[in-house]
Amino acid sequence: MPTWGEKEFMQYLRDHRARVTPNRLTVFRAMQKSTKPLTVPDLAIEVEDTGLNTATLYRIMETLADLEIVHPVLQDHQSVAYELIEPFARHHDHMVCRQCGRTIDLYNCRLDEAVKSISDDSGFRVDFHQMEVHGLCPDCQTATRRP
């Protein structure tokens, strides 16, 4: 499924009675370029040349989350990162290394099918799901085996 770009982002904001601002566009572009969920401090580094301050970035991320353009992803059980969600990005789940904190995107339609089957069986209507699988990444598995 193709994802929505900047043009659709601007129309989505308008359709939801939210202003299209240069700052929101800057954040959206940075989120699109990222290959991983971004914390606000990470995002501040990505857009530092624009002069956007951290307080403004927190407000923008809160707005984008309220508008269901991004959602929060808990990292290392302590920091919150954000990533674009459908239709702005392809749906995926995460595998999180409990040792180094590395997050690996998991694109697997069988998980989606399992969630649908379970929800159908229970009569529960799923709006969206976010799954995290925790364990050890290959690098950390190798490191723990070394004497």
Tell me the CATH number at 111. 3.30.1490.190
Overall average pLDDT of the 64-80 stretch? 86
Residues 79 and 106 in one domain: no
Residues 113 and 55 in one domain: no
Indicate if the pLDDT at residue 120 is higher than 60.
Answer: yes
pLDDT confidence bin for 143, thresholds 50/70/90: confident
Residues 7 and 42 in one domain: yes
The domain containing residue 108 runs over which residues? 91-147
Task: Give residue 139's pLDDT.
Answer: 93
Residues 106 and 53 in one domain: no
Q: What is the pTM of this model?
A: 0.78
Residues 66 and 44 in one domain: yes
Residues 76 and 9 in one domain: yes
pLDDT confidence bin for 147, thresholds 50/70/90: low
Residues 44 and 61 in one domain: yes
Residues 121 and 55 in one domain: no
**Could you say which of 90, 112, 131 is where a domain stops?**
90
Q: Where are the alpha helices (DSSP H) in the chain?
A: 6-15, 22-33, 40-46, 54-66, 109-122, 138-145
Task: Give residue 78's pLDDT.
Answer: 75
Our count of domains for the chain comes to: 2
Distances (CA, A) of 112 to 59, 76, 117, 124, 146: 31, 24, 9, 14, 37
Residues 63 and 27 in one domain: yes
Residues 76 and 21 in one domain: yes
Indicate if the pLDDT at residue 109 is higher than 80.
Answer: no
Task: Give residue 92's pLDDT.
Answer: 86
- Computed over every residue of the chain, the mean pLDDT equals 90
Residues 66 and 8 in one domain: yes
